[in-house]
Amino acid sequence: MIKKPCACPKKTQMTGRPKLRAGVAAQGGRKRQELGKVCKKNLGVCKAGKALGAKQELLAVFGSAGSGLKISAFIIGAMLADEILTKLEIQPLDELKIHEQVMEPNLHSLRETMLNLGKLVDPLIVDKKHKIVLDGNHRRMVLEILKADNAVCQMVDYDDPQIQVGGWHIATKAKVPQEGGKAIDEKEGFEALQKMEGCLMHIKKGKKGKECSLICSQSGELQGIMDEQKQFLAKKLNLNSFEKNNNGNGAIQFIEDSRVDYFLENGYEVFARRIFTKKEIVGEAAAGRPLPPKSTRHMIPNRIIRLNFRLGYLNDSPESASMHLRDMVIKRVKYGSARYYTEPVIVLY
């Protein structure tokens, strides 16, 4: 008796996650059931901002199951697009308040770049409660110069504790005498700056470690301290204008408050400034008194960059601009032109 060949499909060794192997080997309805389980599992991943990885994984695993399953996989991509779009809004430009003064050279350079590209590269980051621009003050001013009616904004809750405020210190290779300053421990000096007991703290590398000197404040109030900073830096560093001196030649640089040690090790002396509070930032912006340039540095989670929205759409009606924005985001997510970074990145402008 001749045995008939078995009609069962041969077992194929699969690579990948064990939970997904059954979905590949199964047939018909079982594939759909497994897809449903994976979709539910990855729904949380989508909300965490990683839907592109889930989408690609589903397409790779279930691609042979038929067009219906491919469409289901693309639903997950659509969920990411919806998540992005919930963060973005078209806002009237004249309602957006800047919180920092701009630098004229930076403003002119950005204007030329935006005109050459014909696009708003990054959306403005805006406090949704007070309509204050937290990041993108130069972009907002360029749009005003170009007479745009609207702006694309990523709206955030400024009360969210995940949004943190840092600052910029001033680093110089000029040797600055410490006369008039009060010797102080570094930690105590930063505390004194926050209490507005000093306007600046001079930090340099000495033979036995850091040498810190507090430049005491005579006013003890916010506007007075900013005036004292300006006068002191003009006298000691000839820093009469942020625009003229921040020219990238390395003599004077604005540095992140987290990188003081790095610059000290590389031959710089640092003038540390106090970190503004959220309440101060909102209060000064609402009163029409923007802070000096490079006063704040906002750390904002899930920041959207490289949007590349056409400038021409910003003069359409808000409804029309929103439609263009939605179409653009959905198309870019669909074709994999979106990526979620979980690690720190360095952006070159």
- Domain span at residue 303 reads 88-163+296-334
Please give the tally of structural domains in the chain: 3
> How does pLDDT run across 10-63, given as a tens digit for each residue?
433 333 333 333 333 334 444 444 434 444 444 433 333 334 444 444 344 334
- Identify the pLDDT of residue 328: 93
1 in a domain, yes or no? no
Please check whether residues 71 and 82 belong to one and the same domain: yes
The answer as to whether 226 is a domain residue is yes
pLDDT along the chain (349 residues), means of 10: 44 36 40 43 39 42 46 59 92 97 93 96 97 98 97 97 96 78 94 96 92 93 93 77 47 90 94 96 96 95 93 96 94 80 78
Q: Are residues 301 and 159 in the same domain?
A: yes
Can you give the pLDDT at residue 235? 82
Length of the chain counted residue by residue: 349
Q: What is the pTM of this model?
A: 0.75
Chain position carrying tokens 């399953």: 69
Both 158 and 190 in a single domain? no
Confidence (pLDDT) at 225: 95
DSSP string, 199-262: EEEEEEEETTEEEEEEEE-SS-SHHHHHHHHHHHHHHHH----HHHH-SSSSSEEEEEGGGHHH
Same domain, 154 and 178: no
What tokens appear for 297 in the block?
């540095």
Residue 78 lies in a domain: yes
pLDDT of residue 174: 81
Number of neighbouring beta carbons within 10 Å of residue 255: 18
Distance CA 140, CA 110 (A): 11
Asked if residue 150 belongs to a domain, the reply is: yes
Tell me the pairing of strands 168-172 and 252-256. Answer: antiparallel
100: helix, coil or strand?
strand
| Residue 94, both tokens | 């004249």
* Residue 310 domain-assigned (yes or no): yes
| 8 within some domain | no
Q: What is the pLDDT of residue 282?
A: 97
Distance CA 228, CA 315 (A): 42
Q: What is the pLDDT of residue 311?
A: 97
Do 173 and 156 lie in a common domain? no
